[in-house]
């Protein structure tokens, strides 16, 4: 496993950090999960212009990351270390499109580079938040916008925030600026894909794209202006 060097006097980080920063290098059925919330941002013409995302890493993995940051050499404050972590996450996820696949009327939607992002620790969870802009504002018309957010290797399971009864939380998918309906469609993987994932161990290499079969689908349908 390659280790990642962080700047500003922070030492090389361990395995736990590398799993997040270089997901393409590790493959297995999920050993880490992230709770997602998405806010779809519309412009003043009712067109989709960005998806604001929050990823909350699971408590145990968050603990591993925080311990790694605390143990790092140097006198940088934790806020600076988290900022540097955010920069590393940004740089390593950019080539993978931030794990986000967007379609409209069956066609892929192009996204632009993320420029707004932050990393913080809140209630014992590490959170990565960012604004993913579309390359061009998108008028939905009669067709819904759909997205999937997933780690192609399926090492990290990514699911929307849920209530105690496992139903999606009201703030797991919201839209600003128009009358829109939303829903989160549960994954329905083929039994063959489930069996394939269950057979994988930490040291096994999963086929790239396995995570797509286990990804939830967010759907947004807006009233035409």
The larger pLDDT score, comparing residue 18 to residue 171, is at 171
pLDDT category of residue 3 using cuts at 50, 70 and 90? very low
Mean pLDDT for the stretch of residues 63-82? 90
In this predicted structure, what is the pLDDT of residue 197?
66
Q: How confident is the model at residue 199 (pLDDT cuts 50, 70, 90)?
A: low
- pTM (2 decimals)? 0.83
Q: Over 70: is that where the pLDDT of 27 sits?
A: no
To which H or E segment does residue 120 belong? strand 116-122
pLDDT at site 179 = 82
Closest CA to 20 of 34, 9, 6: 34
Q: Is the pLDDT of residue 178 over 90?
A: no
């Amino acid at each position: 496993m390659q280790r990642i060097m962080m700047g500003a006097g922070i030492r090389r980080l361990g395995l736990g950090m590398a799993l997040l920063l270089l997901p393409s290098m590790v493959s297995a059925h999920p050993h880490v999960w992230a709770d997602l919330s998405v806010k779809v941002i519309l412009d003043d013409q009712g067109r989709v212009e960005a998806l604001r995302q929050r990823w909350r890493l699971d408590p145990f993995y968050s603990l591993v990351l925080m311990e790694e940051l605390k143990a790092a050499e140097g006198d940088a404050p934790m806020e600076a270390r988290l900022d540097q972590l955010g920069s590393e996450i940004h740089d390593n996820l950019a080539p993978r499109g931030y794990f986000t696949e967007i379609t409209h009327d069956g066609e892929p939607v192009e996204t632009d580079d993320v420029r707004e992002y932050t990393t913080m620790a809140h209630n014992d969870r590490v959170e990565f938040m960012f604004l993913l802009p579309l390359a061009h504002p998108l008028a939905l018309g009669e067709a819904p916008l759909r997205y999937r957010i997933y780690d192609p290797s399926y090492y990290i399971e990514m699911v929307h925030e849920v209530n105690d009864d496992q139903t999606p939380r009201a703030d797991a998918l919201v839209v600003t600026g128009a009358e829109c309906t939303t829903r989160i469609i549960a994954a329905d993987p083929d039994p063959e894909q489930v069996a394939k994932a269950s057979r994988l161990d930490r040291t096994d290499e999963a086929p790239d794209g396995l995570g797509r079969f286990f990804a939830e689908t967010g759907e947004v349908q807006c009233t035409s202006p």
